Every structure is written in structure tokens, then in C-alpha cells.
Structure 1
Amino acid sequence: MNYHIDLMAMTHATTLLKHGPNAPIEERIEGNWHVYPFDGALEIDYVDQAGNATRRWVIARELKVGPGKMLLGGIDMSDDGYRGFRVDRIERLEDAETGFVVDRNILDWLMKRAEKQSKERRKALRRA
């Protein structure tokens, strides 16, 4: 990939980090799924069901934990469409805001970040 294009995409992604008006703000249950709000601009190396490896820039909005799988939901910057990415197919991710790279225990990192953000939101609501 072209470094200039990658940098432009990441810069654009970080401008979208503000919590979107239609983004979830509370944890919720949807059937067998526990849905956590999640804020972040992420670059992910993803392998689709056909085995094709791609690099994606995602404005993450939620983390869905269900029976036997976890999905990262957000806006795929390649087409501005909302997508769900199976966490077990993410081989690497980079936090666009901090530059922090995760290439193992990705599921754990995402879960800890979602929980941290949830605590921060609850604390902010108590102060308001």
C-alpha cells in the first residue's frame, strides 16, 4: 500500500473519533449477544471467509460478544459502509489515535478497552 494514502486514511479516521450521533452509548443485550459501545479508529489486518487478507481502516462503534464469537462493528472507511468484523479473523490492529499495535490477544485487548470506555462513560454521566 502507498504510505501517503495510508497516512491520509488514518488522519481522516482520527477526525471521526467523536462519538457519532447514531452510535450506541450504553451496553445492551440483543438476543444472545452482549453489545458494548466502542470508540476508536483502527487499522486492522483482516482475513475474510475466503481467506483473502486485507488491510482496513475502521471507525469502531461497538463490540458484540455472542455465543462462540465476537464481532467488531463499525464504519469501513473503504466504502463508508457499516461492517461487522469477526475478531478471530483480525490478525493485527493499530490504534490510530495512539499508534499502539496489537498482534496477539486481540480479543482480550478489545474487551479491556470496551470495559474501560464503559467505566469512563459511567463516570462522566455521574459527574453531569
Structure 2
Amino acid sequence: MSEKAFYPSAMGAVAPLDRPANAWRTLPLDGHFDLVYEDATGVWSNRSLQARELKLGPGRTLLGGIDARRGLYRGFRVDRIRRLIDGATGERIETGILDQLLGRAEAQRRANAVRIRRQAQARRKAATRRATEAFQ
């Protein structure tokens, strides 16, 4: 028998079966940001963005949302964002922008998970209460 059947770590890292290696991953992200963005030609511009998501892909990460200038959905490469100002807190970030955005997306994901759990518990309690009242 092959040892690989019993010790899969001997084969090395195994990619997840449900997602190809070049797949994009989308993290919901909500917030308003003012940013200084450098386009592909090196021209800097000020942008105002109502963020919707952070897209993590092979070799690049995009901050996606509604661009106030155009009124349309736009994706901005995070590595080209030179300055990010959080509209809620006024915090100005010039380094570690990707880390900040990932941290915020994760915090929002956790808060949403807690909110969803609480709503589900409240629904279960209400259903139990209605069922109990129906039998009395």
C-alpha cells in the first residue's frame, strides 16, 4: 500500500477541490472611502467610493464599489491606492492599505455572523412561543 493514502501531508500542499487555483475570492465590504488613486499611466486622481466588496485574485486585489465621479461600479487595484481616508472615522492611511481593508472586511463579516445568529435565535424563540401558546 502507498503511504500517501494514509499520510496525505507527505504529498505536499493539496489545493481545495471546490475552487480552482486562479479563482477570485470576494469579501463583502461596506463603507465610504476617499482615495488617491494612481492609474496605469501613472496619473494620480482623487476618488470617492461607496465600497461594496474586496476582490482577492491571482496577483492582485480590487476594491470595488460605486465611484461618485462616474456613478457606476468600479474596481480599483489596491496596490495603486496611494492614500485611503475612511469616511466614517476620518482615519488617513498611506501604508498597509490592504491590511486595513482586509481587517475591516473580516470585522464586518464577524459582526454580520453574530447578527444573523441572534436573529435566528430570536426567530426560534418566537416560533417556540407561538407553538406553546397554540397548545394551551
* Structure of greater Rg: 2
Higher RCO structure, 1 or 2 (CA under 8 Å, sep 6+): 1
Give the paired residue count.
Answer: 100
**1:127: which partner in 2?**
118
TM superposition shift of 1:47: 0.3
TM superposition shift of 1:99: 0.3
Give RMSD over aligned pairs.
Answer: 1.4
Structure in which a larger fraction of residues adopt strand: 1
**2:91: which partner in 1?**
100
Gaps of 5+ in 1: 1-28
The one of 39, 55, 58 equivalent to 2:46 is 55
Gaps of 5+ in 2: 1-18, 120-136
**1:25: which partner in 2?**
none
**Runs ≥4 residues deviating over 6 A:** none
TM superposition shift of 1:97: 1.0
TM-score, normalised to structure 1's length? 0.75
Percent of residue pairs bearing the same amino acid type: 46
Matched, 1:76 2:77: no
**1:38: which partner in 2?**
29
